[in-house]
Amino acid sequence: MQNKYEKNIQINNKDALIIIDIQNDFIPGGTLAVNEGDLIIDDINNLAKKFKDNKAIIVLTQDWHPKNHLSFASNHEGKKPGDEYISKNGAIGPVLWPDHCVQGTNGAKFHKDLNTQLANKIIQKGIRHKVDSYSGFRDNDKKTETGLRKYLNSKNIQRIFICGLALDYCCYYTAMDGLEFGYEVYFIDRLTRGVDLPEGNINNALSNMKKLGIKFADIDSFR
């Protein structure tokens, strides 16, 4: 699906680059590996440097699950990763995952190639065992926020630019919440990769964002 990219974007101090979940478990070799997830890291670092040089804010999100997290198939008898599952309150689902990004494990650490020194803030999510947090802004039950919105507002941020892993889950839901919370949202799709689970999920996510007015940027969209 071809996207129309914005051009000549001038980064300023009311912008934030939100880098989603560049963690070992999401990189090839990890327990929930996203195909080619490692191939976007260098370009993300280069873009983050450009944001830093233009006085913008850089935020990293980090999945930070307890080992008994109910999004893990291992915590449901007879279930396996990829099985469809939705809790009554929508806090878990639509599928179950392998154990990943467990607090304090190597899999939860940021990938060694990601330049974390450029970050102004790290936001951890998915920390409650009965509720998942795809979005960097809030839990899936939409009741508890992570602190990201409070932080961005404290910095007078107006535009957010989203990249990272995975396109059709954490990146997508962060973009959607950002739009709902009143930010001008840009999605840098070539600096994301998706899991496409269930099949068609990537195209659905891209289509929904376009319909709602989320803008798309490319690596070369910035001055």
- The answer for residues whose C-beta is within 8 angstroms of residue 75's C-beta and 6 or more apart is 68, 69
Of the listed 21, 38, 132, 139, which one is catalytic?
21
Nearest to 4 by CA among 222, 210, 203, 154: 210
Has 21 been annotated as catalytic?
Answer: yes
- The answer for residues whose C-beta is within 8 angstroms of residue 214's C-beta and 6 or more apart is 175, 176, 179, 185, 186, 187
Has 125 been annotated as catalytic?
Answer: yes
Of the listed 38, 52, 99, 125, which one is catalytic?
125
Of the listed 101, 139, 168, 170, which one is catalytic?
170
Our measurement of the distance from residue 67's CA atom to the centroid of its chain's CA atoms, rounded to an integer in Å, reads 20
Q: Are strands 121-125 and 184-193 parallel, antiparallel or unpaired?
A: unpaired
Catalytically active residues are: 21, 125, 170
